């Protein structure tokens, strides 16, 4: 059945006049495909929904105020929708900015952590360098003390050398502590001196000089000289093994105190005078 057939049936029944119905206006109820599509999409109004839609359409069509109110509401809805879309766009932009800020914050956090690690490494390096410098300072201080001791020894040695080279005292300066070679040489020299003195004063002209000098030098005799020499060389032989420097110094002091040069000079002068008187 179609809309044209329905219009012809209504005309035959005497409902309405000829041409009072338009077949196209009755055609839509018979479009089942569109009905099924609207039904499936949920756009078909039925029951209370249809009544409320009819009332709203009637009010809209009957009163002008309702039309204006409806248009205003539509405009407000449009503005609200536009504002909502704008807010959505702003929200999306804010989310994008937030993501960018988060990425920048993570980058800055990485840089800060690297800076902190670098600072810690620098602090550790500075501490290590300070420790090394402190150790070097201690070593330098120890070396300075050693150098001061060496310089003190050098200064004292220089003073002794200067005092020795002035010739103020008849002393012997020895700067080496190993006297083994000197001990051997001194023993040999002592033997030679003993032999020479025994040969010269026991026989020969020097014995005559010594014998004649006894009268002029009553406070010393040849026996005393020989005894002193033997005692000196015996003590020299015995003590040089333990303390060479002290023994040599004592020997020198003993020789200086005994004034051997004056003794021998006095003996020689007296003997020569006696010989001249005899001649």
Tokens standing for residue 273: 């005078």
- What is the tens place of the pLDDT at every residue in 76-110? 777 888 888 889 999 999 999 999 999 999 999 98
* 76 or 214, which is more confident: 76
Whole-angstrom distance, CA of residue 233 vs CA of residue 191: 9
Whole-angstrom distance, CA of residue 244 vs CA of residue 116: 71
CA angle 57, 63, 65 (to 5 degrees): 110
**Structural contact between residues 276 and 212, judged by C-beta atoms closer than 8 angstroms:** no
Whole-angstrom distance, CA of residue 271 vs CA of residue 38: 172
What does the buried/exposed string (b/e) look like for 130-142 if buried means 16 or more CB atoms within 10 Å of the residue's CB? eeeeeeeeeeeee
CA angle 255, 260, 265 (to 5 degrees): 160
Q: Which pLDDT score, from 0 to 100, does residue 108 have?
A: 92
* 155 or 228, which is more confident: 155
Q: How many CB atoms lie within 10 A of CB 75?
A: 10
Domain-wise residue ranges, the chain: 3-71, 180-278
Q: Which pLDDT score, from 0 to 100, does residue 271 have?
A: 43
State in Å, rounded, how far the first CA of the chain is from the last one.
Answer: 202
When pLDDT is averaged across residues 238-246 and rounded to a whole number, the result is: 47
Whole-angstrom distance, CA of residue 62 vs CA of residue 67: 9
* 35 or 159, which is more confident: 159
Q: How many CB atoms lie within 10 A of CB 269?
A: 13
* 162 or 140, which is more confident: 140
* 124 or 202, which is more confident: 124
Of 250, 215, 213, 214, nearest to 235 by C-alpha is: 250
Whole-angstrom distance, CA of residue 58 vs CA of residue 55: 5
Is 40 a residue whose pLDDT tops 50?
yes
Q: How many CB atoms lie within 10 A of CB 264?
A: 13
Cα atoms in the 13 Å half-sphere on the side-chain side of 105: 6
When pLDDT is averaged across residues 36-57 and rounded to a whole number, the result is: 63
Whole-angstrom distance, CA of residue 237 vs CA of residue 247: 9
* Matching residue, tokens 């929904």: 49
Whole-angstrom distance, CA of residue 67 vs CA of residue 61: 7
The rounded Cα 36 to chain-centroid distance in angstroms is 88
| Residues whose CB is less than 8 angstroms from the CB of residue 1 and which lie 6 or more positions away in sequence, other chains included | 30
Whole-angstrom distance, CA of residue 232 vs CA of residue 197: 14
Q: Which pLDDT score, from 0 to 100, does residue 182 have?
A: 61
Which of 44-58, 157-171, 199-213, 258-272 holds the top average pLDDT?
Answer: 157-171
Is 46 a residue whose pLDDT tops 70?
no
Q: What is the mean pLDDT of the chain?
A: 67
When pLDDT is averaged across residues 64-83 and rounded to a whole number, the result is: 67
Q: pTM of the full predicted structure?
A: 0.28
Q: Which pLDDT score, from 0 to 100, does residue 187 have?
A: 79
């Amino acid at each position: 059945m179609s809309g044209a057939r329905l219009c012809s049936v209504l005309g035959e029944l005497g409902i309405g006049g000829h041409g009072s119905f338009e077949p196209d206006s009755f055609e839509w109820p018979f479009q089942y495909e569109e009905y099924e599509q609207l039904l499936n999409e949920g756009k078909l109004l039925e029951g209370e929904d249809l009544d409320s839609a009819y009332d709203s359409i009637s009010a809209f069509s009957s009163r002008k105020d309702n039309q204006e109110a409806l248009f205003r509401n539509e405009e407000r809805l449009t503005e609200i929708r536009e504002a909502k879309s704008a807010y959505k766009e702003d929200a999306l932009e804010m989310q994008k900015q937030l993501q960018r800020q988060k990425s920048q914050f993570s980058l800055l956090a990485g840089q800060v952590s690297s800076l902190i690690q670098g600072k810690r490494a620098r602090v550790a390096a500075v501490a290590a360098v300070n420790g090394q410098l402190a150790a070097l300072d201690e070593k330098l201080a120890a070396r300075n003390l050693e150098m001061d001791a060496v310089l003190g020894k050098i200064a004292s040695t220089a003073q002794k050398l200067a005092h020795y080279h002035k010739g103020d005292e008849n002393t012997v300066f020895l700067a080496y502590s190993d006297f083994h070679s000197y001990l051997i040489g001194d023993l040999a020299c002592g033997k030679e001196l003993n032999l020479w003195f025994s040969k010269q004063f026991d026989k020969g002209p020097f014995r005559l000089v010594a014998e004649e000098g006894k009268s002029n030098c009553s406070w010393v005799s040849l026996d005393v000289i020989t005894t002193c020499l033997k005692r000196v060389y015996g003590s020299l032989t015995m003590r040089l093994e333990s303390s060479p420097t002290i023994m040599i110094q004592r020997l020198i002091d003993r020789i200086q105190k005994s004034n051997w040069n004056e003794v021998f000079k006095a003996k020689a002068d007296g003997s020569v005078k006696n010989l001249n008187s005899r001649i």
